[in-house]
Amino acid sequence: MIATLRHEFGMQIRRPALWIVYGLAFVLLVISFRQGYLIPDIGRVPRSVTTDLLAVVGTVNVLMPMAYGCLLADRLVRDGRLGVSEVLDAAPASRTGRLLGKYLGACAATAVPIALVYFGRVAVYAVTEGGPGALPLSVLVFAATALPGLLFVGALALAGPLLVPLPLFRVLFVGYWFWGSLIPADMMPTLSHTVLSPGAHYAEFGLLYTAPSDPYVLPYGPWPDAVLNVLRPVASPGAAFLWMGVMAVLTVAVLLLVRLHTSRTA
Amino acid sequence: MKHFHLWSHETRGAGPAALITPPALALTAVLLGLLAPRIGAREPVAARLLLGVAEMGVPLLTGLLAASLVGGDRAAELRLSLPSPYRATVLRRVAVTVGWAGLCALPVLALLSARDWWRLLPVSPGVLAGQLVWLSPTLWLTALGLLAWTLSRSTVAAAATVALVWLAGLTLFGVSGGGTVPGPLDLFATTRGVAEESWLPNRLLLLVSAVPLAVAAWLLLGNDERVLGGGER
Amino acid sequence: MRIEISRLTKTYRGGVHALDGIDLDVPTGMYGLLGSNGAGKTTLMRVLAGLLRPTSGTVRIGGHDVTTSAGRLAVRRELGYLPQDLGVYPDMTARGFLDYVALLKGLDSRPFRRRRIGELLDVVGLSGVADRRLGRLSGGMVRRVGVAQALLGDPKLLVVDEPTTGLDPEERIRLRIMLGELAGERTVLLSTNLVEDVAETCRSLAVLAAGRLLFDGSTSRLVARAEGLVWTVTTPGPAPSGRIVSALPTDAGTRYRVVAPERPAPEAEPVEPTLEEGYLALMETTRV
C-alpha cells in the first residue's frame, strides 16, 4: 500500500495538467473572491483570527474541489485503459491495499495545490495580521471544514468513471458540485447545505464560529421554503460531528463499492 | 448521400456522452417542470430551474464535451493520415454536439413559453431571440473547451478549464450568491437577471467574443503534430 | 512510389534526437525497417505519413515533397497507413468504420464503397464479423480491420507500423502473405522489431538504432554480415562467451547458437547465419 501510495503521489504531482489547472483556478479565485481570500474580513461579528481563516478556507473550498475532482477522475480508469491492471493484479500487493494506496496517494497529491493556496495565504496573514497563533489554528480549520469533503469527493471522483464514461462523469461531477454544494437551498430541490453535502458549513457554524444572537438572522441549518430540510439540522457541535461522520461513512462506502467492482471485473 | 453517411459516422464519432447526456438533461428538466405544481414547487422556482438548465446546463455540457473531443479521439493518428483535413472532422463533431444539445434545449424553453413562465423571470425575450439564452454561452464555452485543449493538449486540463470558468462565471456574476460583478461577458445574464436593454447586447457580445477563441482553436488544430502530441496520459 | 530521404533529422522538444541524419532510398516493392524499441522507426513512419514535420532534411515520396502542405496532401491521397497504436471507435462496426475511412479517402460512390469494403473484409477474413462492434472484436481482428482500412483507395504506398504485434502465429503468417502479395506494384514499408517478419517478406531492408541508419540493402547482405561469426556449441556446462541467439536443451546438454567474432569454445562448430544473426552481428559491430 505504501509503495502504491508513493507511486501515485509522485505520478500525480508531476503531472503538468495539475499545475496548469490549479494555476487557472487560483487566478479565478483571486478575481472572483477578492473579498474572502485577499480580504478575509467578510463582516463576521465579532471578527477574529478564526473568522478570517474561515473566510479564506470558505473561498478556497468553492472552486478548488471542482478542479480536484476533475483531476482525480481518470486515475482509476487509466490503469485499465493503459492495460496495466492485469500486471498489477499479478503483483503480490493486495487489491485493497493497492486501492487504498492509489486513493490516498492520488488524493494527497491533488490536494497539495489546494493546501498551498490556503496555507500560503495563511502564512501571509500570520505575518501581516493574525500573528503566529494563526498557523496552528489554520491546520485545525482546514482539517475540520475542508478535509472531510475532500476525502469524500476524492473517492467519488475515482469511482464515478467506473460506471459512466469519463467525459460524461466530468459533466455530472461539475453539475453535482454546483448543485450539491454551492447553490442556495431554496433555489431548487438540492442536497446543498445538507449533512450529505461535501461543501456544507456545519464545521464552520457548529464548531468554530458562533454568530451573536440575532432574531433577524437565521442560524445555519434549515432554509425557509427549501425541500429536504430534514437533512439540514441546526448547526451545533453535534451536527458538525454528524457531518464529518457522514462524509467519512460515504467515503468508506464509495471505496468499498470500488473494491467490489474491481473484484467483479477481475 | 455522401454527406449524409459522413455525418452519420461523425455522429457516432462524437461519442455516446454527446448523444445521451443532452436528452437526459432535457428530459429531467421537462419532467421536473411538468411535475412542479404537483410536488409543491413554486412556479418561480420551476421557471428558474428550466432557465438554468438551458442557460447553464447545456453550455457546461457542450463545453466539457468539446474539451474532450480531440483528446478522446482514439483514432486521431489514423484520421490525421487521411487526405480529408482532421479539423473538418472536429468541426462536424462540434456541430453535432452543439446542434443536438440545442435541439434538446428547445422543449425546455418551449415549456417555459407554454406555461407562460417567462413573466416570472427577469428577462423575457421572444421565441427566436430566446434561443440566445442557450446558444451564446454554449458557443462560448464550446470554443473555450476546444481552445483549452489545443493549448494544453490535455483533456483533463481543458475540461477543468471549462468547469472552472463556468463556476467562476456563476460566482463572479452572482448567480450562486457569491459575487455581484456585472459585465458584458456575463455567461449567465438571463438567469442572473440583467436589465432588459442589456440582455441582447450581452448575448451578441458573447457570440462575437467566441469567434477569436474558435479561430485560434481552428488554427492550432491545423497543426497535425500538435494534435498528435496530445491525448490522455 | 519511390521514397527518397536525405539528411532527415527529427528532434523533439527537450532535445531528443529521434532521427539523426537519415539518408535512404526505398524502391517500389516490399521494404523492411528493422530496429529495437526507441530506434526511431515510428517517428520515421509518421514523417512519411505527413504527421510529423522533419526538423531538417528532405523527404520526397513519388516526387512529392512531404515538408510542404501540398506535398503532404498529394502523398496522403496515395497512402495507406496502419499506425502502431491503432485506435478505433468501439461503438462502430467493422463495416461502418471502413465506410467512414473510405469516405474520408474520397470514395464517394456508395455502391463502389460497399463492394470494395466487402472485398477487403474477405481479404482480411472478417466478413463473418463485419457487423459486430469494434469494441467486441479481439486485438488481432482489430489489427486486421486496420490492414483493411489501409488498403482502401488502392494506395500506391503502404506504411505499416508493427502490423503483426498482438497477432497469433496463424494471423501473423496470413498477414505477411497478404502484405507480400500487395507489394507487386506498390511500395510497402514494413516497420517491425521482429526480424522474422522481414525475413519472410522483404528482399531489402534498413536497420535503425538510436535514430541513426546502421544499414540499408538486401537481406542477403545483412545475412552476410554474420558470415563466419555464428557457431553452435553443445555443452552441459556454463554458456559460452559471445552473443547467445538460442539455447535448446538436449540430452547431451544445452545447444547454444552464438554470434561471436572468434570460436567461443573448442567444440564450437561454424554454421550458416540467418537474418536474425546478421542483425545481431550488425548491432554488435556498430554499437551506438
Residue A95 has pLDDT above 90, yes or no: no
Mutate one of A66, A188, A225 to test the B interface: name it (highest B CB count within 10 A): A188
Mutate one of B1, B10, B81 to test the C interface: name it (highest C CB count within 10 A): B81
- Edge-to-edge strand ranges of the sheet holding C64-65: C16-26, C3-12, C56-61, C64-65
Q: Please name the member of B16, B167, B232 whose beta carbon is closest to the beta carbon of A63.
A: B167
Q: Is C71 helix (H, G, I), strand (E, B) or coil?
A: helix
Answer for the pair B132, B194: CB distance below 8 angstroms, yes or no. Answer: no
What is the b/e burial string over C47-77, where b = at least 16 CB atoms within 10 angstroms of the residue's CB? bbbbbbbbeebebbbbebebbeeebbebbbe
Q: Establish if B72 touches chain A: CB-CB under 8 angstroms.
A: yes
pLDDT at res. B168: 85
CB atoms within 10 A of CB C272: 9
CB atoms within 10 A of CB B216: 15
pLDDT at res. C288: 52
Answer for the pair A161, A109: CB distance below 8 angstroms, yes or no. Answer: no
**What is the residue whose three cell numbers read 442572473?**
B192
- DSSP strand pairing (C29-35 vs C187-192): parallel
Distance between CA atoms of residues A218 and A221, nearest Å: 8
What is the residue extent of each domain of chain B?
2-228
Angstroms from A247 CA to nearest CA on chain B: 23
Q: Which residues 191-230 of C are in CB contact (within 8 Å) with B?
A: none
Q: Is C187 helix (H, G, I), strand (E, B) or coil?
A: strand
Of the segments A187-191, B193-197, B215-219, C177-181, which one has the largest average pLDDT value? Answer: B215-219
Distance between CA atoms of residues C58 and C7, nearest Å: 7
Is A in contact with C (3 or more beta carbon pairs below 8 Å)? Answer: no
Q: Do A188 and B49 touch (CB under 8 A)?
A: yes
Q: Which chains touch C (3 or more CB pairs under 8 A)?
A: B
Answer for the pair C129, C94: CB distance below 8 angstroms, yes or no. Answer: yes
What is the residue extent of each domain of chain C?
3-218, 228-272
Helices (H) and strands (E) in chain C, counts: 9, 14
Burial of C228 (0-12, 13-18, 19+ CB in 10 A): exposed
Answer for the pair A107, A156: CB distance below 8 angstroms, yes or no. Answer: no
Q: Please name the member of B78, B82, B89 whose beta carbon is closest to the beta carbon of C87.
A: B78
**CA A58 to chain centroid:** 11
Short-list A196, A63, A194, CA closest to A118: A63
pLDDT at res. A87: 62
Mean pLDDT confidence for C86-112? 93
Q: Is C10 helix (H, G, I), strand (E, B) or coil?
A: strand
Distance between CA atoms of residues C210 and C41, nearest Å: 10
CB atoms within 10 A of CB A244: 22
Q: How many residues are present in chain B?
A: 233
Query: What does pLDDT average to over chain A?
Result: 88
Cell of A227: 425541500
ipTM for the complex shown = 0.86
Answer for the pair C213, C22: CB distance below 8 angstroms, yes or no. Answer: yes
Radius of gyration for chain C, computed over Cα atoms and rounded to the nearest angstrom: 21
Radius of gyration for chain B, computed over Cα atoms and rounded to the nearest angstrom: 18
pLDDT at res. C16: 86
Cell of B32: 421536473
Burial of B44 (0-12, 13-18, 19+ CB in 10 A): exposed
For the stretch C11-39, pLDDT in tens is: 988 888 899 999 999 999 999 999 988 88
Q: Is the peptide bond before A46 cis (omega within 30 degrees of 0)?
A: yes
Give the helix/strand (H/E) hosting C250: strand C243-250
Mutate one of B51, B165, B167 to test the A interface: name it (highest A CB count within 10 A): B167
Give the residue numbers spanning the domain of A224: 2-265
Instruction: For chain B of 233 residues, list the mean pLDDT of each consecutive stretch of 10.
Output: 86 88 92 79 82 93 94 91 94 96 94 88 84 95 96 91 89 51 75 84 93 96 85 40
Burial of A122 (0-12, 13-18, 19+ CB in 10 A): buried
pLDDT at res. B179: 44
Answer for the pair C273, C199: CB distance below 8 angstroms, yes or no. Answer: no
Indicate the number of domains in chain A.
1
Answer for the pair C42, C52: CB distance below 8 angstroms, yes or no. Answer: no
Q: How many CA atoms lie within 13 A of B39 on its CB side?
A: 14
First to last CA, chain C: 31
Angstroms from C77 CA to nearest CA on chain B: 6
Angstroms from B146 CA to nearest CA on chain A: 14
Distance between CA atoms of residues C16 and C177, nearest Å: 36
For the stretch C236-264, pLDDT in tens is: 888 888 888 899 999 888 999 999 888 88
For the stretch A142-168, pLDDT in tens is: 999 999 999 999 999 999 999 888 888
Distance between CA atoms of residues C253 and A57, nearest Å: 73
C3-218, what's its fold? Rossmann fold (3.40.50)
